[in-house]
């Protein structure tokens, strides 16, 4: 994963990242205990989408 950013608008947060192999990245994340705990904790409020909704302020970035 690279070019990871978090954007915010009001109380909405949008995360974005890039990778070379989506399937491998998702498999890696599925094996991560930290990611598993995060998904369990945030699962009721996370909405997944494949497009950037725009008009958000970038509040975090990591290359």
Q: How far apart are CA 21 and CA 58, in angstroms?
A: 25
Tens-place pLDDT, residues 38-55: 999 998 988 877 777 678
In the predicted structure, residue 36 carries a pLDDT above the cut 90: yes
Q: What is the pLDDT of residues 9-24, one digit of tens each?
A: 888 888 889 999 999 9
What CA–CA distance (Å, rounded) separates 43 from 37? Answer: 10
- pLDDT value, residue 46: 84
**Comparing C-alpha atoms, which of 40, 41, 49 is closest to residue 13?**
49
**Mean of pLDDT over the chain:** 91
Residue-level pLDDT at 48: 79
Cα-based distances in Å from 26 to 22, 31, 55: 6, 9, 27
């Amino acid at each position: 994963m690279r070019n990871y950013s978090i954007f915010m608008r009001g109380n909405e947060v949008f995360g974005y990242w890039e990778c070379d192999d989506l399937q491998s990245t998702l498999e890696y994340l599925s094996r991560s205990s930290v990611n598993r705990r995060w998904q369990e904790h945030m699962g009721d409020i996370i909405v997944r989408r494949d497009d950037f909704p725009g008009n958000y302020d970038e509040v975090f970035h990591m290359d």
